[in-house]
């Protein structure tokens, strides 16, 4: 009866998300493992809230 609506995340948004993850995981950044985990959690929570 009703059509389906498919939500899709843009390629640009995915690219930005991956770039943020790469920057945090970069070995050239002097961060402790705990700091990296905290930063990754912040990025992931923001991503999940943006695209539920």
For position 29, what pLDDT does the model report? Answer: 81
- Residue 42 has phi, psi (to 5 degrees) of -60, -45
For position 43, what pLDDT does the model report? Answer: 95
CA distance 37 to 24: 9
- Residue 30 has phi, psi (to 5 degrees) of -80, 90
Q: Is the pTM of this model over 0.95?
A: no
1-22 pLDDT, tens digit each? 577 777 788 999 999 999 999 9
Place of tokens 């050239």: 28
- Residue 31 has phi, psi (to 5 degrees) of -135, 150
For position 6, what pLDDT does the model report? Answer: 73
CA distance 34 to 20: 17
């Amino acid at each position: 009866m009703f059509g389906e609506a498919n939500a899709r995340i843009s390629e640009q948004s995915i690219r930005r998300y991956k770039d943020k993850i790469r920057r945090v995981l970069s070995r050239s950044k002097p961060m402790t493992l705990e700091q990296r985990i905290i930063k990754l959690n912040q990025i992931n929570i923001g991503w999940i809230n943006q695209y539920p």
